[in-house]
Structure 1
Amino acid sequence: MGTDTHPTGQQDPGTSAQVADVPASWPVESSQERYSGPVFTLTTDRVEMPDGPDGGTVAAARDYLRHPGAATVVALDEQGRVLLQRQYRHAVRHKLWELPAGMLDVEGEPPVATARRELVEEAGLRARTWNELPSMLASPGVSDEVVHLFLARGLSVVPEEENGFVRRHEEADLVAAWVPLEEAVGLVMGGQVRNGITMFGILAAHTAARNGFADLPDVSER
């Protein structure tokens, strides 16, 4: 059976079973690194792109940020509450409520190991059970950043003497709150929580909770 044409003129892929992101790479005519810093690199590629319905191509410049990626933790306690932390974000001039997270800035460290480390450093917590939530592309129009999300349960407090991490800059001003997951969804839908990764993590965890997280891969031993 062939695909149908949508009223917009675009091809209809058919059923929802056929809808899935797939790897692809258009030819790059040239690439120029414009800036390199401690967090990201700004690159300009000239990419060969379709140029109308006749099958021709044209080279068009595309700027994007190359980012090492990040790991984010949805930490749930025994009462079904999620840990949120308020942190200043200078780019948007706001203090935002967020999930514990950190960059994949240790070479060779698996994302779940980064998540474990960040939970200890930022929240002073360990988790007995780790499950993998869907990963997300934070802003694919301008960045290659992949955010890996994990659900952490069976929490316990790390004694201060075992956590040598010293909070500095934005992290020195962290404020924590434990919010029932259902209420956290309400905060997202009501616009009180607007960090995109946090919104995604809360909604993903809430969806996964419907069957007791049975469909999530267990990565506790990784």
Structure 2
Amino acid sequence: MSGDDVLVDVPRERDVVDHRLLHAGRVWDLVSDTVRLDDGDVVREYVDHPGAVAVIALDDEDRVLLLSQYRHPVRHVLWEPPAGLLDVADEDLVTAAARELAEEADLVAGRWWRLAEYFSSPGGSDERITVFLARDLTPVPEADRYVRGEEEADIVPVWVPLDDAVEGVVAGRLHCPTTVVGVLAAANARLAGWSGLTEVTPA
């Protein structure tokens, strides 16, 4: 590879000769594909996921909003940005992000940018998460606020200086993937003077 080459992940379809539903879950399914590769057919089981969005909300002091939330599979209370599933039919990504910001953090953002996108666990899930940067924040009116339940009922919000959040990621104290990716992407974008980001608008 020369210095002028740009690394990029490339979509590629392989023939799926058999697809089976192993378990229909409440949020996502477990499926099995028999995939035709160059040296023969292989079976791959994975989580069929609807996808998700996450929001790095920054205030005028470059503090990032993180929420504490219990995550049962890892038996941890994690510090996470507002985030949620793409579980509303025909909802575009940034509109989903704006909905999650309002539901989980009682905030509305005046400006939005696409910050990062990643596969959360590409060896075992097709989940794709898009992370947005949100600024010019104002509170949702009290009468219009979403009533949170289940794990979300115990959410505790904190505003953390972006540099402190980066240090927490690098030191291994913060483990949520949306926090790790989003905080580091925001810090990198700030180093570049926020240039290069694509501004987007909720529907």
* TM-score scaled by length of structure 1: 0.88
Residues 1:31 and 2:19 aligned together? yes
Q: Over residues 196-221 of structure 1, what are the superposed CA-to-partner deviations in whole Å (9 max), with x where a residue is unaligned?
A: 12100000000001133121111036
SS of 1:30 mapped into structure 2: strand
CA drift at 1:58: 1.7
SS of 2:198 mapped into structure 1: coil
Q: Name the aligned partner's letter for residue 117 of structure 1.
A: R
Which of these residues, 16, 34, 44, is aligned with residue 32 of structure 2? 44
Residues 1:116 and 2:98 aligned together? yes
Equivalent position of 1:154 in the other structure: 136
Q: Over residues 16-68 of structure 1, what are the superposed CA-to-partner deviations in whole Å (9 max), with x where a residue is unaligned?
A: 62421111112222111111122111111111223xxxxxx221110011111
Distance 1:152 1:37 in 2: 32
Which of these residues, 174, 192, 197, is aligned with residue 211 of structure 1? 192
Contact 2:107/2:140 (<8 A) preserved: yes
Contact 2:116/2:181 (<8 A) preserved: no
Distance 1:195 1:162 in 2: 29
Equivalent position of 2:158 in the other structure: 177
SS of 1:135 mapped into structure 2: strand
CA RMSD, 1 decimal: 1.3
Distance 1:197 1:17 in 2: 28
Gaps of 5+ in 1: 1-12, 51-56
Larger relative contact order, structure 1 or 2 (CA cutoff 8 Å, min sep 6):
2
Q: Name the aligned partner's letter for residue 49 of structure 1.
A: L
SS of 1:119 mapped into structure 2: helix
Residue 221 to residue 174, structure 1, CA distance change in 2 (3 Å): closer
Distance 1:15 1:67 in 2: 36
Q: Name the aligned partner's letter for residue 140 of structure 2.
A: V
Distance 1:16 1:62 in 2: 36
Contact 1:128/1:220 (<8 A) preserved: no
Residue 214 to residue 27, structure 1, CA distance change in 2 (3 Å): same
Q: Name the aligned partner's letter for residue 155 of structure 2.
A: L
Identity between Structure 1 and Structure 2 (%): 44
* TM-score scaled by length of structure 2: 0.96
